[in-house]
Amino acid sequence: MSVAEEQLPSETDPAVLRETLDEVRRVIVGQEHMVERLMVALLARGHCLLEGVPGVAKTLAAHTLATVVGGTFARIQFTPDLVPSDIVGTRVFHPSSEKFDVELGPVFVNFLLADEINRAPAKVQSALLEVMAERQVTLAGITHPLPRPFIVLATQNPIESEGVYPLPEVQRDRFLFRVRVPHPSAHEELEILHRMSVTPPTPERVLDPDTLIALQDKAERVSVHQLVADYVVRLVMSTRSPAEYGLPDLAETIEIGVSPRATLGLVAAGRALALLRGRDYLLPDDVRDVAVDVMGHRLMLTFDALADGVDPEQVVRQILHAVPPPLVVWNQGR
């Protein structure tokens, strides 16, 4: 078997990924959208921002996914008194040896949970930005690469206003997804009561880091047709020049359109979702399914739109409705 053939998705890959999701769902009640997006972000080598009120299983989902995948996990509770050395590490002087040694911080794991990320000050956010963007830490002039695979799962509470540092646009842009986590339904609430009021289920390991890296490589090789790539570009350009795409009303709503990272993110997330669904090619529906979570947090709305309470995710849905996807025609002879 050639190297190229080894990199193509096999028939067992979707089964393994479904087993991984099922194991996470054995612990997490409901929240199907959040669980799937966490898995897609992991396959796409992207970071994920979970936004929701307390108690909706954001932290539990991150810890459970790390256990099922088999990677190392660390949770950092972000607070206003946190300093960069608390997360990336520092130099420590040892009197016995009369020299400085580097003590690496808790970010050197496969899964980093940044709990209540918007409570940390600007210096900590800046240190975390290098971790997210470069996947490395520089201490005393020496660069230390982070373990592979590596993903930042951050949480924030949208209803908090005191003691909160809003994430800057450049840092929000580093997150592949911003996933809103709602309250569970009445049926799910009853299931939570039955499942968690006794001994909670313990997740079992399904994957290992090496297998996950191989799956990430296969996700990158999912085929993207030129028409689908053109559709991705049209979605992105419609946020920058909405009038040219039949959306003149959005010109007064959008201040700045999404960045090129949204273009790359739509393709990367769509490829990962296609692999999760058992395909080695990207469909327009895959792009449409991830568009809201990829583009919503990257849109900058005008002051008037913010004052009127316009939801950026609703703006993305309006764009999806207005920009037609390419028509998929199946060739039965091939």
CA dihedral 242, 246, 248, 254 (to 10 degrees): -30
For residue 331, the model assigns a pLDDT of: 56
Q: Confidence band (pLDDT; 50, 70, 90) for 261?
A: very high
Q: What are phi and psi of 278, to 5 degrees?
A: 85, 20
Please check the confidence at residue 159 and state whether its pLDDT lies above 90: no
Tell me the two tokens of residue 108: 């050197």
Helix (H, G, I), strand (E, B) or coil at 143: strand
For residue 230, the model assigns a pLDDT of: 94
Please check the confidence at residue 8 and state whether its pLDDT lies above 50: no
For residue 321, the model assigns a pLDDT of: 93
Residue 9's identity, in one-letter code, is P
Helix (H, G, I), strand (E, B) or coil at 1: coil
Average pLDDT, the chain: 85
For the segment 64-117, what is each residue's pLDDT rounded down to a tens digit?
999 999 888 999 998 888 888 888 887 776 677 667 777 788 889 999 999 888
- Mean predicted confidence (pLDDT) in 291-302: 92
Q: What are phi and psi of 277, to 5 degrees?
A: -90, 5
For residue 199, the model assigns a pLDDT of: 81
Q: Are 326 and 231 in contact (CB under 8 A)?
A: yes
CA distances from 154 to 13, 59, 144, 203, 249 (A): 27, 9, 22, 21, 33
For residue 160, the model assigns a pLDDT of: 65
Q: Which of 95-104, 135-144, 188-197, 310-319 has the lowest mean pLDDT?
A: 95-104
Report the distance separating Cα 96 and Cα 213, nearest Å. 41
For residue 267, the model assigns a pLDDT of: 96
The residue among 160, 88, 155, 79 whose CA lies nearest residue 121 is 79
Bridge partners of residue 111, in order along the sequence: 73, 151
Q: Are 277 and 9 in contact (CB under 8 A)?
A: no
The residue among 310, 315, 297 whose CA lies nearest residue 46 is 297
- Mean predicted confidence (pLDDT) in 266-278: 93
E strand or H helix that includes residue 206: none
The fraction of the chain above a pLDDT of 90, given in percent, is 32
For residue 144, the model assigns a pLDDT of: 85
For residue 5, the model assigns a pLDDT of: 43
CA distances from 236 to 141, 251, 260, 287, 311 (A): 38, 14, 8, 12, 18
Q: Which of 108-122, 225-239, 287-301 has the lowest mean pLDDT?
A: 108-122
Residue 165's identity, in one-letter code, is Y
E strand or H helix that includes residue 104: strand 99-104
Strand bridging mode 136-139 / 142-145: antiparallel
Q: Are 146 and 135 in contact (CB under 8 A)?
A: yes
For residue 40, the model assigns a pLDDT of: 94
The residue among 271, 282, 233, 240 whose CA lies nearest residue 258 is 240
